[in-house]
Chains A and B, each alone.
Chain A
Amino acid sequence: MQLKKLIASLTLVSASLVSIHALASETIKVGVLHSLSGTMAISETTLKDTVLMMVEEQNKKGGLLGKELEAVVVDPASNWPLFAEKARELLTEAEVDVIFGGWTSVSRKSVLPVIEELNGLMFYPVQYEGEESSKNVFYTGASPNQQAIPAVNYLKDDLDVERWVLAGTDYVYPRTTNKILEAYLTSLGVAKEDIMINYTPFGHSDWQSIVSDIKKFGSQGKKTAVVSTINGDANLPFYKELGNQGINSEDIPVVAFSVGEEELSGLDTTPLVGHLAAWNYFQSVETDSNDEFIELWRAFTKNPERVTNDPMEATYIGFKMWVNAVQKAGTTDVDAVEQAMIGQEASNLTGGTALMNKNHHLSKPVLIGEIQDDGQFEVVWETESTVAGDAWSDFLPGSKDLISDWTAPVKCGNYNTQTKVCSGQKF
């Protein structure tokens, strides 16, 4: 009996909620699809707050198209199938005009069919492995040629690295990135025996034998570096083991693609000092807009120590561009906004401007920083100009002839420049 009552009252409550929503439809709705619980909550909660902050700022400026912006936050709980369900819920029930969300590649892949079916619009703010271009998604994080390839170039040219350890966590992003890197290194003439590839499970914590292998691999007289796509949690034990086994950043530098300010803020950074990371943004870059952004963020989170990171900048750029595109299109209609997005410019927090290309990827500068003992990065290298994100890698046999171009006349996510055919496969 009680259960029935409960269900009845719940239905009543939700019905009334829906009707409230229906009444207040004079707002533009911004969906936020980031995990607030589960393993990815560590990283994604920050991005949820970033979107909320941007919405609040935009409303202070008078909203958008004369309407107030309203954030609709859902929690996909680090559960990949739930990402698809929550995306559907956002698009059909809350009827949001845009979604900011996703972190892991598998979460994005799970949202893709839904967002294409319902013709939604999503901004994905995290560095990823590429090999994808959807009409309904804008990728504001780095693709491999905006992070991995420049990092390898830096190691090769500036540090004279000749032997390479590609170490990663065992899932799609590291596997694809390492495949691209391996192809790239081979094309540069690096011999097979000078590349060591290693995968470890999620959250791996016993690095003894792997680090000992790296040590052996690196003590053959040739300068060696580790290119790390090791994911979040497994990093601290990895660096600790490196330190304990006496490997330091001058002998064998580690360049990481998943270690940022946020990840370092909970760590004892002593064993990491001097190791490298490649990103498009570092909190330590001193520009007026960055200072302003950091101040805003700290005020919003009411935490004077709070750090910023690269996916936050990607969210920031994506949001700014979306606002401009909506203003340009004069509507929030997905097709109109999608076309208005291409060619949008927004200033980077690190100086210069980011440009949205025809393939829904950004042109951004690439920075390489050394980890400092306060958990910040000291920029040691940056690209001279911006680098355009590549949806399809030029170094993989299957994708080197593919391009993505969402403008007329091509209008295709994977157009083969050789056969002049759009395969129609979207992802």
Chain B
Amino acid sequence: MKPIITLIYCFLVSLSTGLMANDLANNPTSLNPQTSNELRLALTQVKLKAMPPLLMQIKQLEEQQALPLFKTLLAGRLYYVKADKRLIQMQKKGKERHYFSLETDQPLSELSKNQVKKVKLNNAVRRLLKSTIAELELNHPDPELRQAAIESLLKNLDSKLIAQLEQRRSLETQEKIRELIQVALNLFQLKTNPSPAKQIEAIEKLADRLEIPVKNQLTQVAENSIHPEVKQAAIRALTKIEHATNRYALVDQLFFGLSLGSVLLLASIGLAITFGVMGVINMAHGEMIMLGAYTTYVVQLLMPNHIDYSLWVAIPAAFMVSGLMGVIIERGVIRHLHGRPLETLLATFGISLILQQLVRSVFSPLNRQVFSPSWMTGSLEINPVLSLTLNRLYILAFALIVFFALLTLLRKTSLGLNVRAVSQNRNMAKAMGVKTGWVDAMTFGLGSGIAGIAGVALSQLTNVGPNLGQAYIIDSFMVVVFGGVGNLFGTLVAAFSLGIATKFLEPMTGAVLAAIIVLVFIILFIQKRPKGLFPQKGRAAE
């Protein structure tokens, strides 16, 4: 929606300024420093320090029409042509840069990277732009933009703004935004009205709001007010807000725990098959995850203009790459070491080193750049103190989908039946005509492939580099052993309980100590129950 609105604005601006531009070009001596074109030209020449006053001038002169300019500048997409100082906009498509006219959105394909320069900006300019854009967007037709505008204006209210807000309230149709405007008005009343009665009235109305400026203002009043009754009211309101905030903080923490749990689940679920079901200690499991992440990188290289869809391609691709590598490792190495866990451990550890060095040589030792699709950035804002980050939310859902898909595969398909048969009693299965060799290869491939899928998800959270796998291998083993070797559900429970425990410990003890406490707990737990949370029972267990 936004680009279209920008486009319409650009078009309007172009109509109004296009004629002027011609005038100026023909008659450069008659420059009036107050024309908007002259001001815009100055943008390309001033130092960063002189930028804020210049922008304010532009805002006063152009009002609404300056919006597209400001937004382009804020996004860091405002460029100018070196030769004639004409302002243009840049749009990135993957790694390529394309230039468009600022006014008409016409593509300017003749421009190359060397002919243009970026209009620079710093944090001071960004801050000014944000508040200015918010002010200009108070009356924007899109209610979401209006709401965001008012929210960001709460921080610094003044009487001029309040007048604007009051005007807006009389026009406003959305109940939520009217409420928000009311908050602003109350906040302003609390700040400026000298009468204690009025102040208390404002405080009582603000007591159930979670906006951060409200809390800050109340804290200030509670600390500094000279009227004891106002102070009391502010403290009462603050406790109420505090209670609500704490409730949401708990939800927040739970979400963090679930999210860490989902990462652990993804990383260990492949291992739960190769180690848990097949009994192979696969130290190269982390490298299967790494291969998946690198596959994502390669897929994005191949389709630079479709980053938003790249993950959908990367998931099956990563499954194939890691799965194939798994089959090769199984057929080439592990098969010959059957029943010798120590040698298997050493051999797979060697393989993990080889794979790490391989990507170092092929891709360079530096981390690779994997883009996040636009639908995975940002957060789902539930209220001012609780928002869930989207990438974590998607990965949580994805982990559960993968888990249950795998569970179905093992329980309902003939491959799953064979896998279970071989893992329970190899010789008996062989006697019944199951091709154990083939089943071994497929199982190992499946476990590795799922590790590859985990790599796709992890590429969205962490660095894609040769050491990616190393970071997860210990956690993976921990989860599988804790959950009970050979039990997929155990892995699920273990991953989430470790995730939640870590996240509830972290605020109290710090990240370093939290990790240690969890490890110590697991060591003690394994001492007591060597077979994990859900040990396998019956004859199959032996």
Contacts and interface: CB of A to CB of B under 8 A. Distances in A.
Residue from the set A205, A210, A237 with the largest chain B CB neighbour count within 10 Å: A205
Interface string B346-378: 000000000001001000011111111000011
A81 to B, nearest CB: 19
B253 interface: yes
B390 A244 contact: yes
B465 A370 contact: no
Main secondary structure, interface of A, reads loop
Given A244-B379, A249-B126, A206 B389 contact: no
A206 B365 contact: no
B189 interface: no
Contacts of B256: 206, 208-209, 212
Interface residues of B, number: 52
A373 B369 CA distance: 13
B48 A380 contact: yes
A373 B76 contact: yes
A135 to B, nearest CB: 34
Interface string A254-273: 00000000100111100001
Interface string A33-51: 0000101011001000000
Contact of A209 (B76, B216, B507): B507
A266 B369 contact: yes
Contacts of B506: 209-210
B463 A233 contact: yes
Contact of B120 (A213, A236, A240, A378): A378
Contact of B511 (A200, A237, A250, A373): A200
B122 interface: yes
Contact of B123 (A198, A204, A210, A370): A370
B252 interface: yes
A266 B76 contact: no
Contacts of B389: 208, 241, 244-245
B471 interface: yes
Interface in B452-471: 461-463, 465, 467, 471
A199 interface: yes
B391 A42 contact: no
A232 to B, nearest CB: 9
B76 to A, nearest CB: 5
A42 B356 CA distance: 13
Given A208-B256, A243-B377, A203 B471 contact: yes
A208 B259 contact: yes
Contact of A265 (B48, B123, B366): B366
B219 A220 contact: yes
Contact of A198 (B369, B391, B510): B510
Interface in A184-209: 198-201, 203-206, 208-209
B152 to A, nearest CB: 10
A354 to B, nearest CB: 27
Interface string A218-245: 0111000000000001001100110111
Interface string B163-188: 00000000000000000000000000
Given A204-B511, A267-B367, A373-B76, A221 B130 contact: no
Contacts of A267: 367, 369
Contacts of B215: 219
Nearest to B502: A206
B435 interface: no
B467 A203 contact: yes
Contacts of A45: 365
Contact of B370 (A268, A373, A378): A268
Contacts of B462: 205, 236-237
Interface in B333-353: none
24 contacts: A41-B360, A170-B512, A199-B512, A200-B511, A206-B260, A206-B461, A208-B259, A208-B503, A220-B216, A221-B219, A233-B463, A236-B367, A241-B389, A244-B377, A244-B391, A245-B389, A246-B381, A249-B123, A249-B126, A250-B126, A250-B127, A267-B369, A274-B126, A372-B120
Interface of A: 37, 39, 41-42, 45, 159, 170, 198-201, 203-206, 208-210, 212-213, 219-221, 233, 236-237, 240-241, 243-246, 248-250, 253, 262, 265-268, 273-274, 370, 372-373, 378, 380
7 closest Cβ pairs, A-B complex: A221-B216, A266-B367, A205-B462, A244-B389, A208-B256, A250-B127, A200-B511
